[in-house]
Amino acid sequence: MATDVLFDAGPRFEVRRELGAGGMGVVYEAFDRDLGELIALKTLRRAAGQWLARFKHEFRALHDVAHPNIVTLGEFFDGASEPFFTMELVRGVSFLEHVRAFEGAPARHAAPPVAYDEARLRAALRQLALGVSALHAAGMVHRDIKPSNVLVAPDGRVVLLDFGLVAGATARHESADGVVGTVAYMAPEQALSGEVTPAADWYSLGVMLFEALTGSLPHDGNTAFEIILDKQRHEPPRPRQRVDIVPLDLDELCVGLLQPHVRDRPQAGAILDALSIRGRATPTRALSSARGGLRESAPFVGRLDQLRQLHDGFRRSRDVALIYLIEGVSGVGKSQLAEAFLEELVCEDPDAVVLSSRCYEREAVTYKAFDGIAVELSRYVTQLPPAQAAALMPRRPALLGRLFPVLKRVEAVAAAGEIQPVADPQRQRIRMFAALRELFLRLAERHRLIWYIDDLQWTDADSLVLLQELIAHEDRLPVFIVATMRPAEDAPRQALLA
């Protein structure tokens, strides 16, 4: 049902109706006047702290993933009232509505008469498996695959949606809310807040397959806790035990996917073979570093001179700020060089604090070069003992939350409350910059500090002003900055060298 007052997304977008809402945000149908087409627009209700970080991560995680069975994202905007991003408008029905011949959600307990279309189920299942495999190949786990997050368009195209809980392929839960996901479709290890690997997504797909075949869920309970216990203690039932004409191959696949132990579930290749899928992508693993989100990669070969220059620059930045700019056209290995250096650095100096960021072309975000740094800074500080975190705080911690709302994840910042704004916006900005510089100075007294900014050619003018205020001040912040950029974009480079 549409809201009384629709979301104000600015003059470019005509917001027409509400498509759906959840605890985190609202999705609207809107007309994009620049593109001349209908799109979906997703907003965030709680634009602060953990929620804001998760919302931005949802967009950025899928920014470079292109696959016909994964929803295509558009652009990210700060927004006048709330942040939002655009994505393709997918018109369709949920996975279960598509594959079963009756309307409405399947029963939780009693299995209805057989009512699934086997041809539809097999075709949709193949597409969903390809989308999940592509996501894993990009180094991510969805963590909330369920029927409502899988739409089937009228032409039969299956689209995986809602990546609000997406994480690295071996991520541990970082949610302040504890277990995240939907319990009925959640793998046992995910419910335990342990490591979540691609196997967790395949388990969720197994629950959906079971539900499609039988009209009921494989595990029951009156509470979420009872359902989790049932998954951990009992082997999953066979779909054929409830509906005896279920095809043998789908029965075997479903039972394999629902195994309570990760080691007993089939790997991606076996799953795709069982579905007779050829020409698929091989999933890869991406490991998130506690100090900057670096990804595990193959050993770096070549460019030893550049690596030596980076290490030399790091040694010379002990008392001053230094910027090392890696320039080159797209595809020459700028990011690979930077990440190889940072991986070596973290191994050699485990106490060094590496904060990484990336400028995205399709984001209209203020201070976009520092947005990721602020996210990682908030994560780093929240993991410190309270006394150590408090020792890093500036005299006016609330200014940090005003500059970067994600920093309100930090208890000392959130506890400081709101600060009275001053009449002069420029003066207020100087105060916020000073608070951030004060925090970084205190951090640099304790650890070597490194900022890594990828794709600097897409930065904004405000980021360059903030950078100048942080490193050109008389307080002399000692930080080593590694940035990558394409040479064709000259303005950011000249601003940095000025």
pLDDT per residue, tens digit, the chain (498 aa), is: 444 558 888 889 999 999 887 767 789 999 999 999 999 999 887 666 677 777 887 788 787 788 999 999 898 888 666 889 999 999 999 999 999 865 444 444 444 555 789 999 999 999 999 999 999 988 888 888 999 999 999 999 999 988 766 565 544 444 434 455 688 898 988 887 666 899 999 999 999 999 999 999 998 878 888 888 888 888 888 999 999 899 999 999 999 999 998 999 999 999 999 998 865 543 333 323 333 333 334 445 557 888 999 999 999 998 999 999 998 887 778 889 999 999 999 998 999 999 999 998 888 888 999 999 999 999 999 999 999 999 999 999 999 998 998 898 899 998 887 777 777 888 999 999 999 999 999 999 999 999 999 999 999 999 999 999 999 888 889 999 999 998 755 555 555 555
Domain residues for the domain of 104 are 93-274
Query: What are the residues whose beta carbons fall under 8 Å from the beta carbon of 422, sequence distance 6 or more?
Result: 428, 431
Residue 143 lies in a domain: yes
pLDDT in the model for residue 455: 92
Is residue 334 in a domain?
A: yes
Domain-located, residue 174? yes
Q: Classify residue 291: in a domain, yes or no.
A: no
| 83 and 97 part of one domain | no
265 shares a domain with 330: no
Per the annotation, the verdict on 144 as an active-site residue is yes
What is the total count of domains within the chain? 3
Q: 81 and 138 share a domain?
A: no
* Cα Rg of the chain (Å, integer): 24
pLDDT in tens, 192-222: 766 689 999 999 999 999 999 999 999 887 8
Q: Which of 32, 144, 162, 251 is catalytic?
A: 144
CATH number, domain of 26, equals 3.30.200.20
pLDDT at 429: 92
**Could you give the CA distance from residue 422 to residue 196 in angstroms, rounded to a whole number?**
46
d(CA 439, CA 434): 9
Long-range contacts, 100-105 (Cβ 8 Å, 24+): 100/212, 100/215
Last residue in a domain, options 231, 253, 274: 274
Tokens 């504890």 locate to 178
The whole-number pLDDT of residue 288 equals 33
Q: Indicate whether 68 and 112 sit together in one domain.
A: no
Q: Provide the CATH number for the domain around residue 118.
A: 1.10.510.10
Shared domain check, 124 and 250: yes
Residues 393 and 462 in one domain: yes
CATH classification of the domain holding 455: 3.40.50.300
Let me know whether 155 and 233 are in one domain: yes
59 and 145 together in one domain: no
Q: Are residues 407 and 264 in the same domain?
A: no
Residue 290 inside a domain? The answer is no
- Looking at the structure, do residues 77 and 102 belong to the same domain, yes or no? no
Q: What's residue 271's pLDDT? A: 94
Phi first, then psi, for residue 337 (nearest 5°) are: -65, -50
pTM of the model: 0.71
**Which residues, 6 or more positions from 222, have their beta carbon under 8 angstroms from its beta carbon?**
none
Alpha-carbon distances, residue 120 vs 38, 247, 256, 341, 393 (angstroms): 28, 14, 21, 49, 57
User: pLDDT value at position 56?
Assistant: 82
Same domain, 324 and 461: yes
Would you say 284 and 134 are in contact if contact means Cβ atoms under 8 Å apart? no
Q: Is 459 within the bounds of a domain?
A: yes
